[in-house]
Amino acid sequence: MHRTTDPRPALGLRPVINVAGTMTYLGASSVRAEAIAAMAAILPEFVEMGALQRYASRALAAATGAEAGFVTASAAAGVSLTLAGAMTGADPARIERLPDTEGMTRRVLIQAGHHVHYGAPVTQAIRLTGAEPVLLGTATRVEPYHLLSALEAPTAAVLFVVSHHTVDHGQLSLEEVVAQCRPRAVPVIVDAASEYDLTGFLARGADAVVYSGHKFLGGPTAGIVVGRTALVRAAYLQTLGIGRGMKVGKESIVGVLAALAAFQARDAQAVRAREDAAIALWAERLADLPGLTTAVVPDPTGNPLVRLEVLINPSQAGTTAWDLADWLAAGDPPVIVRDHMVEHGRFQLDPCNLHPGEAEIVADCIRQCLAQGGPRRTLADRRAAKLAALLAWPE
């Protein structure tokens, strides 16, 4: 990974060790050196943005098997733009009217188990366009007849979410959704922000797929939209309307393309070996701690990586999963774990963003936090404190 002199102390920022993953609230990823170089080279220059996006379209199509593609501000922006394009087509008058959708087909279907919160509700990305989200089934059970019934009314698109946040059972597969939507000419748009698979969703029948440029790719903050030319064009043309507030700079376009090329050329086996070595080190170093057990768990959406899950027995460890996660985050250095499951007594350690030497520091910090202890609080108190801190910003 690329490292220069650390600028964080001069900005009053803590030198975070990230074992949570490619999280937006932590700056998403450590940007690849190739992307940094490409961005630095283009920044002093003027470019014709439409021509640059045409170049990006060809590069993205070659990488994903799509007909066309473009770069936007983020994956969330890509979802909104693509749904907007499904409603307006390439009609500039309709594009300029959004979010006023009078006279347009505006229903967007989404499985109830896909109605997730990724920093904001996914349905808000739908409503921003003027579209109406329609939930299919219930959180744990969506049947083909739910989709069939919903498709009886005019429908702009179906949004299919691939994420560790979604319910992992009782949902319709992408193939099942496509089988019902394609004969009715209803586009299926896949939100695959954090997924490594650049070709599979289109190959399985999706009409458009949205990826993050700044997560697994290691690029600058950006989103990628790829898919059928007509739908991608309609999404791109939203720059004439609501997409104006989601525009992307020249540096992000070239940075994402450089990151994509570097990602495809990476030695995947060497990367996995480094990550597995960190997992093994943690498992060994934490094995003798009372009340802690560990397990190697695969990525829930099938990305080629594993994490170490740390399960905590409060009566034996003398603490809870959320207290330990908070003590680690408050430490020196701060260690941020993957803590979305702490109410179930566990958190995960993700090795993907480690810099050399940090795996050992993480193990040492866990041992030190358990030995020193700290204030105990209920899960309700923790949630209240986090919300209070957020609402007090910028203090």
Sign of CA dihedral 225, 231, 237, 241: negative
Same domain, 199 and 322: no
CA distance 207 to 85: 12
Strand, helix or coil for residue 37: helix
Pair 155, 133: CB distance under 8 Å: no
Model pLDDT, residue 8: 87
Residues 179 and 291 in one domain: no
Question: Considering only CA atoms, which of 68, 56, 63, 53 is closest in space to residue 227?
Answer: 68
How far apart are alpha carbons 149 and 133 in whole angstroms? 15
**4 domain residue, yes or no:** no
Same domain, 198 and 327: no
Q: Are residues 261 and 382 in the same domain?
A: no
pLDDT at res. 3: 62
Residues 280, 260, single domain; the answer is: no
Domain presence at residue 3: no
**Strand-pair partners of 141:** 138
395 residues of the chain, pLDDT tens digit each: 456 688 888 898 899 999 998 888 888 888 999 999 999 999 999 999 999 999 999 999 999 999 999 999 999 999 999 999 999 999 999 999 999 999 999 999 999 999 999 889 999 999 999 999 999 999 999 999 999 999 999 999 999 999 988 998 999 999 999 999 999 999 999 999 999 999 999 999 999 999 999 888 999 999 999 999 999 999 999 999 999 999 999 999 999 999 999 999 999 999 999 999 999 999 999 999 999 999 999 999 888 899 999 999 999 998 999 999 999 999 999 999 999 999 999 999 999 999 999 999 999 999 999 988 877 889 999 999 989 999 998 98
pTM: 0.92
Task: Give the total number of structural domains in the chain.
Answer: 2
Is 80 a member of any domain?
yes
Same domain membership, residue 319 and residue 252 = no
- Both 74 and 163 in one domain: the answer is yes
Residue range of the domain that includes 127:
33-265
CATH number for 373: 3.90.1150.180
| 234 and 278 fall within a common domain | no
pLDDT of residue 210: 98
Query: SS3 for 158?
Result: strand
Q: Are residues 177 and 64 in the same domain?
A: yes
**Residue 161 maps to which CATH number?**
3.40.640.10
Question: Are 258 and 337 within one domain?
Answer: no
Q: What is the pLDDT of residue 29?
A: 82
